[in-house]
Amino acid sequence: MTTTIPARAELMRLLTAKWQAPVVAVLAELGVADHLTAGPRTAAELAGAVGAHPRALHRVLRAAASLGLFTQDGAGRFGLTPAAECLRSDVPGSLRPAAVMFGLEPFWSPYAHIRHSVMTGEPAFEKTFGTSIYQHLAEHPEHAAVFGAAAAAFHADGIEEIAAGHDWSRYGTVVDVGGGTGPLLAAILGRHPGVRGVLFELPDVVERARGELAELDGRVELVAGDFFAGVPTGDAYLVKSCLHNFADDQAVALLRVIREAMPAGAGLLVAETVVPAGDGPHYAKLDDVEMLVIAGGADRDESEYTDLLAAGGFAVTSLTPCGDRFTLIEAEPRG
User: Which residues are known catalytic residues?
Assistant: 244
CA 94/CA 309 separation, integer angstroms = 33
Q: CA angle at residue 250 from 157 to 241, to 5 degrees? A: 5
Element containing residue 222 per DSSP (H, E): strand 220-224
CB atoms within 10 A of CB 178: 19
Q: Closest Cα partner for 326 from 198, 165, 171?
A: 165
CB atoms within 10 A of CB 271: 26
Q: What does each C-alpha distance from 96 to 77, 86, 133, 146, 194 come to in angstroms? A: 22, 7, 21, 10, 36
CA torsion, ordered 268, 272, 278, 282, to nearest 10 deg: 170
